[in-house]
Structure formats: C-alpha cells, structure tokens
Amino acid sequence: MSAATGAVTDALRELHARFADVDEGELADYIPQLALADPGAFGLALISMDGHCYSTGDAGVPFTVQSVSKPFVYALALSLLGLDEVSRWVNAEPSGEAFNAISLEHGTGRPDNAMVNAGAIVTTALIPDTPVAPRFGRILDCLSRFAGRRLDVDEEVYASEAATGDRNRALAYLIRSTGPLPVDPVAAVETYFRQCAVRVTALDLAAMAATLANGGVNPLTGDTVVSEPVAAQVLAVMATCGMYDSSGDWLLRVGLPAKSGVSGGLIAAGPARFGLATYSPLLDPTGTSVRGHRAIGMLSERLGLHLMYNPALAGSTVTLVTTADDLPAAPTGERERVRRGRVAVAAAQGALDFTAAERVLYALDEAASGRTGAVVLDLVRVTDIDTVARAMLRSGLARIADDGRRTAVADPDGRLCGPGDESGGPRRFGSREEAVTWCTETVAGPAAAAPRPNTP
C-alpha cells in the first residue's frame, strides 16, 4: 500500500479501533442461525468511484446479506418494470415502523416502501419468473453484478429462516388478502428468504453501494448493472426509508442513503463519491448494527459527508471576466485597442454542471454589458461539460447573439460544439487569441471573410 492511500485505510482503522470494544446490542436470534455469529466480528470497507478499495478488520468475513438485499432487488424491479409500474404495487413513503411491521396502505394493501419486509416481499414477487429465467436466478445474477463477483447462498441460514419465518409468511398472506396483486407473495416469500441468505462480505457490500453511488456502473468491473435514473431512485428510497423507524434520525445525523440488515451488515452510499459498508452483528433495537452505525456516523461527521452539506463548489469556475484590450497578447495601435475593447471575454475551468454553468452565464452577462460588440467564451481549461450545462451555455450564447452580438468560443476539444456541429452554434476556435482576433475583425464593421472554425 502506498503512503498516500494508507491515510484512507488509517481512517478506517481508527474507526475500527475506536468502536471494536463496544459490546452493546444483541445478536439477532429470531433466525436461529444468525445467533451463531461471532459477536466480536467487525469489518469496514470503502470503495471509491475509481474502484479503489480500502478495508480493515473482518471486511472479508462472509455473512448473509439479509435486508441489505432489498435496495438491490428494488433496483432490479425498477429496471425491469419502470418506476410507475413498481409504484403501483409498492409505495415509497417512510413507514416509521419496524422492518417486519404490517406497513400496508389502508384500503389497497400496498406496502409503504420496498425497504421494509412487506414491500420487499412484493418487490421480489414483481421480478418475472419464467422457465428460462427463474426469479431467484435473476436476483442472484443481479446481486452478483452489483458485487462484481459470483455470490452464493448460505443454505443453512436459508433453511433456518424458512423453518421459522412465519411472520413473513403471515405478511404475505395479509398482502394477498388485501389487494389485487397480480403476483403470488406467498411463493415470493421463499424466494425472499433465499435472497436474504445470499452470502456477502463487507467488501462485497461496499462494491454494491459504490455501484449505486456511481450511477449504476460497478466501479470494479465497469459493468452497467442498472441505469443512472434507477440508481438515483434507489438511493432516494434508501435515504428516506433505508433505516426503518430510525430513517429520519439517520438522515438528520449521518445524512447518507443507507440500508441495514439483521445479520449485521450496513451500507451507506455517498453519491458520486464512495460506497461504504460495515459488518458487526450486534444490533440495536431497530435491527441496525451498533458499531456500524457509530462508525459510519463518525466517518460522515469527520469527512463532511452529510448530503445536505453538499456541495460547496471546489475552486472557482470562472477565471476571467474582462474585455480583450486587457489581455496580455494585445498588439499595438490605438485603433486596434479600441476594437479589442469591444470584445468581451469570459473564461471558465474545470467540470461544468448546472451550478457551474449558471456562474459562467452570469460572467458572460457581466462581460457583455456595456459597449461590447462581441463575446468570447474561453473553454480551453474546461475538462467536462454535462448535457445540462451544454444546453444552458449554448442557449445563453444564442441569446447574446440574438441581441446582435457576435459570439465565439475557444473550445479546442469541441466540448460545447462538437465537430460537425457548426450550424447555428457560436463560432468555434482552438484558442482564446484566435477567437478574439476573429471578433476584433468582425466588431469593426462588416466582417472580413471569417476563417473556418479551427479544428484541432
């Protein structure tokens, strides 16, 4: 391990050392096999969007995924059926109740959300079951792709829950009795038990959470497991419902989409940042790992990961707002200086999204106020423009052009206007000086024959 990245592992180690001695909480025992877990087990894992893995303690120790499977099977249902169809059968409202409560909407029998057992059973039932692609096969494939490796089932834990899971069966019968579900929740309970008995490690769970945080693309394998909108939908439901009757408090204090399971697994996702997982089987009364809760809570606080603190823009987007006569490269005489004084220039840097594009547009307006006849937007130091920012900048420049001003962009890599995209957009040049020179010629009067846009 290199010295620099060792700092991340050290942060995990410090949390491990700090909470390893906490012996509060109880092992889950309503599934008899879970009571056999080692109460001292404690592992932490973090995986970045670049697929960098950091872990400490028992991060490689296998345990059953239990309720941490729920968001991922919900993701599969959303991928196969779409949000509207899934929402007809499972709502997305926090229930404020325990994971195994009878959280069913009055009148319709629709479960409150897919993170509590009632909703998870219906979600599992919604996964198509065909001879070629049986329901559980689809679920195991999906969980495996999220983890980035082939997972299997702990048959003993499955058998243990199947032998004792009457409450979940009772929930399934209730659901069937209350609504016209086009699926058989009673059969689905058996699949649900198998799904809960899939074996994972904290490292697997970190990869699964990281895949959701990474817009559905597994950062270890590059596999697009679900689409970006589905990943966002799942994270939203995890944020509001993932921690059962402590979901509100969790969002308030920790501020990350999360999901806990009764075997002691806990995941949290920092959208576009990381996937985090802990394993420690001693549970609080809501069924959440005590050490996991504390470790993730402290990490979030120390590293400023709370979603609502976000995002303080890193660095400035706009690096220059001026007129061309103020630029160093300007040549000579008075006439030329006056001409250049009528060319407004704004420059931006970094990755442009909605927030950054708003700043750039504001700078363009500032630059274009007064007696300027042309506007140059310098994107040479821009590293990326997302589709929202591209549309905003193009329409902002079009408005300036509609006002009667010439517009040009220094955009050597074609980020704003790609090759073959010359029609209607601003004139594109390879450098700021070329764009300024062209504008200087055009503001003076009828444009001299404009050069072709520069193609790098």
> Would you tell me which residues interact with ligand GLN (CB under 6 A)?
66-67, 99-100, 117, 161, 168, 196, 261-262, 287
Reading the block at residue 257, the tokens are 């989409």
CB 260 to ligand GLN: min, Å: 7
What is the CA 127 to chain-centroid distance, rounded? 23
CB 161 to ligand GLN: min, Å: 6
Catalytic pick from 48, 68, 70, 234? Answer: 70
For the question of residue 192 being annotated catalytic, the response is: yes
The amino acid occupying position 177 is: S
Do 278 and 44 meet the contact criterion of CB atoms below 8 Å apart?
yes
Residue closer to ligand GLN (CB basis): 90 or 377: 90
Residue closer to ligand GLN (CB basis): 285 or 456: 285
| Cis amide linkage into residue 311, ω under 30° from 0 | yes
The amino acid occupying position 175 is: I
| Closest to 115 in 3D by CA, of 127, 107, 123 | 123
- Angle ∠(360,361,365) on CA atoms, nearest 5: 115
Residue closer to ligand GLN (CB basis): 161 or 378: 161
Cα separation of 65 and 72, whole Å?
A: 11
CB 205 to ligand GLN: min, Å: 13
The H-or-E segment that residue 260 falls in is strand 258-260
| Closest to 54 in 3D by CA, of 282, 233, 207 | 207
CB 31 to ligand GLN: min, Å: 6
Please, which residues have CB within 8 angstroms of residue 64's CB and are 6 or more apart in sequence? 34, 154, 157, 196, 197, 198, 199, 200, 261, 263
Cα R_g (the chain), whole angstroms? 28
For the question of residue 259 being annotated catalytic, the response is: no
Residue closer to ligand GLN (CB basis): 118 or 376: 118
Residue 275 dihedral angles phi and psi, to the nearest 5° = -115, 140
Residue 131 zone, left/alpha/beta (φ > 0; ψ -120 to 50; rest): alpha
For the question of residue 87 being annotated catalytic, the response is: no
Catalytic pick from 54, 74, 158, 244? Answer: 244
Catalytic pick from 67, 103, 263, 280? Answer: 67
For the question of residue 67 being annotated catalytic, the response is: yes
CB 50 to ligand GLN: min, Å: 30
CB 165 to ligand GLN: min, Å: 7
CB 223 to ligand GLN: min, Å: 26
Residue closer to ligand GLN (CB basis): 42 or 99: 99
CA atoms within 13 A on the CB side of 337: 5
Given the DSSP bridges, would you call strands 43-48 and 274-279 parallel, antiparallel or unpaired? antiparallel
CA atoms within 13 A on the CB side of 218: 20
Residue closer to ligand GLN (CB basis): 111 or 373: 111
Q: Which residue is nearest to ligand GLN (CB)?
A: 67
Residue closer to ligand GLN (CB basis): 262 or 379: 262
The amino acid occupying position 14 is: E
Catalytic pick from 54, 74, 158, 192? Answer: 192
- Residues comprising the chain, all counted: 456
Residue closer to ligand GLN (CB basis): 43 or 265: 265
CB 98 to ligand GLN: min, Å: 9
Cα separation of 43 and 25, whole Å?
A: 16
Residues designated catalytic? 67, 70, 192, 244, 262
